[in-house]
Amino acid sequence: MKHKINRKTRAKEIFDKVVKNVQTIVANGEYEKYLKFQNQFTKYSFNNIVLIYSQFPDATNVAGKAKWKEVGRELIEGAKRIQITAGMPAQGKTKVKKVIDGKEVEEEQTYNYIAYKQVYVYDISQTVGEPIPLQIKMLDSENMGSFFDKLKQFSKFPIYEEILYGGLKGFYSPKNKTITIDKKLSIDAKVAVLLHELTHGIYDDFDYKTDKNLSETFVESVAYIVADYFGLDNSMCSFNYITKYANGNPNILIDLGTKIKKCASEFIKNIEEFELQEEQLAA
């Protein structure tokens, strides 16, 4: 019983740390900087959004080469081009017939129209340069190898490590009940991503189509608490991630608090019980 109480207490302590750090990020104006950064980018038409998604499904912010240079970032070597259409004001001329003083005459008239041409844009993941407000920084350490192996054994979902593109670190497939992780990540980053995707698979009951922000706020909060409990500090990634998906509103996080702490405590309990079973089998 004592262990159960400690588990819940630790989950609450870690959750309170998440809330405090999100509040600090907002108070320091970092979220405001993020919004200003986002507002510099063109809002694309539905047709262009479809074109972007079909060529680069993981795109988050896209802009032309000149725009990226304007905000202090350069394209990486071999940056993937995304082709879209851009409307440009243009003028044309046509001849019209008129009757003047009883005579039919032909006049030339100028008219305005929008001409569309193909242009190329690039996702933010294809650029380097000036720091991005609330940038998600992944762990580059290699300390949690045994825990990563334990989580893979614990998972009821098949786990695949593949090379992912477009800044995608991992994903859970509700249809296939599988988890895929970017094999290029460090071991500790893989642990953080796996905890996130496991939370999606086990505890996330939000409708992702309509409640994506709530889903991601909840999932990353649970994953962070579990990671911290088992000795992995992923704050350099989690706090910024949660702040963005909570739309800079700590109250969203607080409102989800009971659900987050309950699921995190249960997740921790299940991992610990799995570890105990493994130890008993090995004895």
Read off the tokens for 248.
């800079």
159 and 247 assigned to the same domain: yes
Q: Which residue has the tokens 């690039």?
A: 122
Residue 2 has a pLDDT of 45
Encoded tokens for 202: 């086990």
pLDDT at 3: 54
Cα separation, 182 vs 130, whole angstroms? 25
Residue-level pLDDT at 5 = 59
Residue 47 is assigned to a structural domain of this protein: no
Q: Tell me if 170 sits within 8 A of 181, measured CB to CB.
A: yes
Q: Could you tell me if 106 and 145 lie in one domain?
A: no
- 153 and 114 fall within a common domain: no
Same domain, 142 and 251: yes
Residue 58 within any structural domain of the chain? no
The per-residue b/e assignment along 39-65, b for 16 or more CB within 10 angstroms, e otherwise, is: eeeeebeeebeebbeebbeebebbbbb
Task: State the pLDDT at residue 41.
Answer: 79
Short-list 198, 194, 84, CA closest to 148 = 194
- Cα angle at 194 between 190 and 198, to 5 degrees? 180
pLDDT computed for residue 40 by the predictor? 79
Q: Is residue 127 part of a domain?
A: no
Q: Answer yes or no: is 96 within a domain.
A: yes
Task: Say how many domains are in the chain.
Answer: 2
Domain membership flag for residue 126 = no
d(C-alpha 156, C-alpha 179), whole Å: 10
Q: Within this chain, do residues 154 and 273 fall inside the same structural domain, yes or no?
A: yes
Reported pTM: 0.80
Q: Give the domain range for residue 153.
A: 2-38+136-282
Within a domain: 272: yes
Q: What is the pLDDT of residue 37?
A: 85
Asked whether residue 191 is domain-assigned, the answer is yes
Would you state the pLDDT for residue 166? 66
In whole angstroms, what is the distance from residue 242 CA to residue 202 CA? 19
Domain-located, residue 212:
yes
- 93, 218: one domain: no
Are both 34 and 153 inside the same structural domain? yes
**The pLDDT of residue 1:** 42
Instruction: Report residue 204: phi and psi, to 5°.
Output: -80, 110
Residue 256: its pLDDT value, please? 97
Taking the CB of residue 70, how many other CB atoms lie within 10 A of it? 11
- The structure tokens 């003047």 sit at 100
User: What's the chain's length in residues?
Assistant: 283
Q: Is 267 found in the same domain as 194?
A: yes
Residues 95 and 207 in one domain: no
Locate 238 and state its tokens.
């989690």
In order along the chain (283 residues), what is the average pLDDT of each group of 10 residues? 71 96 96 88 85 86 92 93 88 82 81 86 91 87 96 97 86 97 96 98 96 97 97 92 96 97 97 87 68
Shared-domain flag, residues 252 and 181? yes
In this structure, the answer to whether residues 247 and 204 fall within a common structural domain is yes
Q: How many CA atoms lie less than 13 Å away from 176 in the CB half-sphere?
A: 9
- Residues 100 and 164 placed together within one structural domain of the fold: no
> What pLDDT sits at residue 108?
84
Q: Tell me the CA distances in angstroms from 110 to 14, 88, 91, 105, 141, one per residue in order.
A: 68, 16, 7, 16, 65
